[in-house]
Structure 1
Amino acid sequence: MIAGSIAFHLPLSLNASAPPERRGVRRDHVRMMVLSKETGHACHDQFYHLDRYLASGDVLVLNNSRTIPAILKGRAASTSLELEIRLARKIDDRRWHALLVSTEGVKEGETIVFSAQLQGVVEKTTPDSPLSMIRFSKSGTSLFNEIYSIGEPVRYEYIEDPWDLDYYQTVFASHPGSVEMPSAGRAFTWEMLFKLRKKGVKITFIQLHTGLSYFLNDRWDHHPSKNTEQYIVPTESWNEIISAKLSGKRVIAAGTTVVRALETAIETNELSGWTNLYIHPGYQLKVADGILTGLHEPEASHLAMLSAFISQEKLCQAYQEAVEEKYLWHEFGDMNLIL
Structure 2
Amino acid sequence: MRGVRQKRRYGMEIGFVGLGAMGQAMARRLLEEGHSLTVWNRTRSKADGLAAKGAYVAQSPAEVARRSEIVFSMLFDDETTEYATFGPQGIAEGLRADGLHICCSTLSLAQARRLRDGHGEREQNYVSANVLGRPPAAEEGSLFIIVAGAVDQLVRAKPLFAPLGQRVFEAGADPVQANLVKLSLNFMIYSTIEQMAEVFTVNEKLGTDPQLLFEIMINSFYTAPVHKNYGRLMVEQKYDHPGAPVTLGLKDVKMFLDAGGEQGVALPFASVMRDRLISAISAGDSERDFVVLQERVRQEAGLKPR
TM-score by length of 1: 0.22
Structure having the larger proportion of residues in helix: 2
Q: Which has the higher contact order (CA 8 A, sep 6+)?
A: 1
Structure 2 length normalisation: TM-score? 0.24
Higher fraction of strand = 1
